Amino acid sequence: MASVNPYSVLAECYDDVMAHVDYDEWAWFVQQLCDHHDHAPGNVLELGCGTGIFASLFTLLDGVTSYRAVDASPDMIAVALKKNARVDADFAVQSFAELKSDPPGSRGYDTVLLLYDGLNYLMESEAIDELLARVSTVLRPGGLFIFDQSTPANSLNNESFFEDSGFSGPIRFIRKSSYDPETAIHTTEFELAKNGVVYKEKHLQRCYSGPQIQVIIEPSPLKIEGGYSGFSLEPADTESERIHWVVRKP
Ligand SMILES: C[S@@+](CC[C@H](N)C(=O)[O-])C[C@H]1O[C@@H](n2cnc3c(N)ncnc32)[C@H](O)[C@@H]1O
């Protein structure tokens, strides 16, 4: 078995592996969040965009004037470029750590997005501090950063241990997932069989609680406007499995 980087071989079958995710609902919900905060999406930067499924839907919504979608994985971006030729978005490889302040004179993004667990890949709180600081440098004053996090409740309720498998074109995938409440680390291992070779990807995510993320955001340059439970406009609580944060650059 060959160990490979997360989101390398998986990129090719990612959309099939994530077929259970309702991205239409997600795009609609993010638009609701913008409306709720009296904000037009305008020019958007999506971080951790993966294969661009969300981008392909959100770019169609009212109020989006331009869209840049970036991800650290060259393989995910290669798939995004291949399948989204008709999507009005600019895809590029860029990690959170490579996010730089806009050149002097540029206006900055109206909206920065980071959706579906991208934050959970940051294993230390210092990396989240850094991300918030970097996002602040690329947002215009008054711009919004909307991001989600998966919580320990999500792993405990749904994914403390599960295994599934399936086919995607020439790839057979097996996904095994487990959660360690002591370390709050959620591990997902993929076995991806292609052309007689089995590739293995190990994905580690930290499951922060809502209060832990709140404490990290508070001293950052961004101001919390809401932390919402799941795909609702109800405030997040200890039962929330996913939280959408809306934070604004003053
Ligand atoms: C679960 S996928 C979600 C992808 C996409 N947002 C979606 O909804 O399908 C998480 C994504 O975060 C990206 N990612 C993880 N750590 C990153 C980092 N430090 N910088 C940029 N992207 C990162 C991964 O490459 C992967 O594409």
pLDDT (tens digit per residue) in 160-170:
668 899 999 99
Sheet holding 109-114, edge to edge: 90-93, 64-71, 42-47, 109-114, 139-150, 242-248, 223-229
Establish whether residue 28 lines the binding site of ligand 1, counting it when its CB lies within 6 angstroms of any ligand atom.
no
Question: pLDDT tens, 113-154?
Answer: 999 999 999 999 999 999 999 999 999 999 999 999 999 999
Sheet holding 197-206, edge to edge: 2-3, 197-206, 185-194, 171-180, 161-168
The pLDDT value recorded for residue 129 is 98
**Mean of the pLDDT values across residues 189-194?**
97
Establish whether residue 27 lines the binding site of ligand 1, counting it when its CB lies within 6 angstroms of any ligand atom.
no
Does the pLDDT value for residue 97 go beyond 90? yes
The pLDDT value recorded for residue 71 is 98
pLDDT band at 194; cut points 50, 70, 90: very high
Mode of pairing for the β-strands spanning 242-248 and 64-71: unpaired
pTM value is 0.97
Establish whether residue 49 lines the binding site of ligand 1, counting it when its CB lies within 6 angstroms of any ligand atom.
yes
Nearest Cα residue to atom 16 of ligand 1: 121
High-pLDDT (> 70) share of the chain, %: 98
Establish whether residue 10 lines the binding site of ligand 1, counting it when its CB lies within 6 angstroms of any ligand atom.
no
Nearest Cα residue to atom 11 of ligand 1: 48
